[in-house]
Each structure stands twice: as structure tokens, then as C-alpha cells.
Amino acid sequence: MSAARDRAQVLLVGAVVVALAVLALVVVLNSTVVTETSGDASAVGAVDAATEFTYEVRRNAKSIAVRTSLGENYTDADAVRADLAAAMGNYSDLLAASVAAEHGAHASVRLAGVPENGSRVRQLDDRTFVDGGGAGSWDVVDGTTELGWFVLNLNATLVSETSPLVATASNGSATARYAVRRNGSTGSLRVTATVDGATVTRTCSPSGGRVALDLVSGRSATGGCTVPGLDGVEGPLTGVGFENGTQAKGVYELVVENATATTVGTCAGGAPPCRGPVPWSTTLDVTYRDGSLSYEHTLTSDVYGGRR
């Protein structure tokens, strides 16, 4: 797929997410605002609406920031901010029109300042889980950092039956391990998770020949199997990596707060896996005004921060 088509797809996905976020928020406000039967009731309704408005904006801003950055291999922070500011501007415009039409109120959301960026490491085509030199046991992250995202998307037919791929995460005192091997008779994957000293094994059935595992939450994309996730491991982490990386093929992404903790090169023409900036958290200027309340607030919205 060409870069132009990639970009168009990112913008389309972002537009859909923005539209859905606005619809969800309007529904929330419709259920919250109290009809103005008295001054007190109106004031209470306005305060409730502003509270719900802030909550929904924070949640929607996280979703918009994640979706906006998903399709891009960013190489500099300015590009991250420009795309995020544009997406938030679209959200604010649609939100303002919807809230004005439904409630006669004014609402706006604006990206304030520069987002705090983390670093995303990604491998976007099916290949082994090795480093740039071909080593199958290696650290993607070697340094102290918070982990906000770690997803494996495995080609189930290309996972070894005998020697498992192992994803690891250490906090300095203990190491969580996720060992994955294929069941040759069924084609499913057996995932053995060892977290906080306890070991759990689950069978994960592929969908379309693939199994996607979110190691932070411990859930598969289809919900068919669940193991203990890294969100239950005390942070920060000091290392994230793979063992037996030659024993499976697939794609993966992880996001950490500290960019200097990653061991791979940037995505500026570099071979996969590579790293680039993504928003870790954002600061937003939020305004909501109606006949009973004038509300302005600056809030911080976690994007990947706060997951662990």
C-alpha cells in the first residue's frame, strides 16, 4: 500500500472515530441536562452536564489520539502534534455544532501546548521476532520506563510446535513470561503466562489464521482466551524483549514512556522493527457554556499512560 493510501486510511479512520465520539457525547448530554423548571434545577443540570462533558472529552481524546497515531510511522514530534491538533480541531468543530443544535450551548476542545510523547516500537509485516542483527533473544526495551501498550499479532500457521516464542517483561525484581507454541493437531495456539510467580495456560483459537494478544490486559482480540496481563505487574519496567524470536512470525507494537529505553533505530528509513514518537498524554483546553454555567478547564488526558 502506498504512503498516500496509508495516509488517506488514517484520516478516514480518524474521521469515523471523531464522529462516533461526538455522537456518544451528545447522547450523554441528552441524558444529563435537566429541563429548566427552576433556577436551582437548571444550575444543577448544567453542572452535571459539564462534569459528564469533561469525562467524555477525556475518554474521547484518548481514543482519537490512539487512532490518529496508529497508521503512521512518525519520525518527529512536530508531525505528531500537527496531526493530533487537526484531529482535535475536527472533534471540536463537530462537537460545537452538535451541542449548539441539541442544547443551545457552546462547547470546544483545543489541544494546548505540546503533547508529552512516548515511543512506539513496531514491526508491521510478518517476520520473525528478531533484532536487526538476527538475534532471537534480545531486549526491545532496556531501561526504566512505563509500558502502555504491547500487542502481538501472530500468524498461527508460522508458530513453532516444539520451541515456543517467549515475550518477556521485567521490573527488576521479577520477570513476566508469555510462551506461545502451536498445537499441531488443532492449529490453535497454547499461551503459557507466568506472572507474579503464578503460571496459567490457555488455548487461543485463531481468527483468519491469526491470534492477536494484548499483553497489557492479557486478552486476545476475539476475547477467546485470557491470561494474566502486565497491567497487574508493579512498574516501572526495566526490560521488555523476546526469547526464541526465530520460532514464530507475526507483527507487534509496543509503546513506552521513555524513548531512550528502546534499543531499535528510528523509522526514518530504518529497517523494521523501528521506533517513532507517539502521544503519551495530552493537555486540552475545554470550554462549556450555557445559560446557567460558564465552564473552562485545562485537563490532562492520558493516551497510553495510566494503562499500567
- Region of residue 97 (phi > 0: left; psi between -120 and 50: alpha; otherwise: beta): alpha
Domain ranges across the chain: 3-116+281-302, 133-263
Nine cell digits for residue 182: 502451536
Contact 126, 251 (CB under 8 A): yes
How much is the pLDDT for 183? 95
Taking the C-alpha atoms of residue 144 and residue 171, their distance in angstroms, rounded to an integer, is 8
DSSP state letter for 207? B
Pure H helices in 145-303: none
Give, in order, the Cα–Cα distances in Å from 101 to each of 96, 97, 113: 8, 6, 30
Q: Which fold has domain 133-263?
A: Jelly Rolls (2.60.120)
> Using alpha carbons only, what angle is made at residue 244 by residues 240 and 248, rounded to the nearest 5 degrees?
100
How much is the pLDDT for 22? 46
Q: What is the pLDDT of residues 231-283, one digit of tens each?
A: 889 889 999 999 999 999 999 999 999 988 999 998 887 678 999 999 999 99
How much is the pLDDT for 86? 93
- Cβ neighbours, 10 Å, residue 117: 22
How much is the pLDDT for 227? 96
Nearest residue to 1 (alpha-carbon basis) of 76, 84, 82, 71: 71
How much is the pLDDT for 10? 39
pTM: 0.80
What's the one-letter identity of residue 233? V
Taking the C-alpha atoms of residue 154 and residue 168, their distance in angstroms, rounded to an integer, is 16
How much is the pLDDT for 85? 93
Packing angle between helix 39-70 and helix 3-32, nearest 10 degrees? 160
Instruction: Give, for all 308 residues of the chain, the pLDDT tens digit.
Output: 444 444 334 333 444 444 444 444 443 444 333 333 344 545 555 556 667 778 888 888 888 998 888 767 788 889 889 999 999 999 999 889 988 888 788 889 999 988 888 999 999 899 999 998 899 999 999 999 999 999 999 999 999 999 999 999 999 899 999 999 999 999 999 999 999 889 999 999 999 999 999 999 999 987 679 999 998 898 899 999 999 999 999 999 999 999 889 999 988 876 789 999 999 999 999 988 887 778 788 888 889 865 44
Nine cell digits for residue 33: 441536562
User: For residue 53, how far is the Cα from the chain centroid?
Assistant: 22
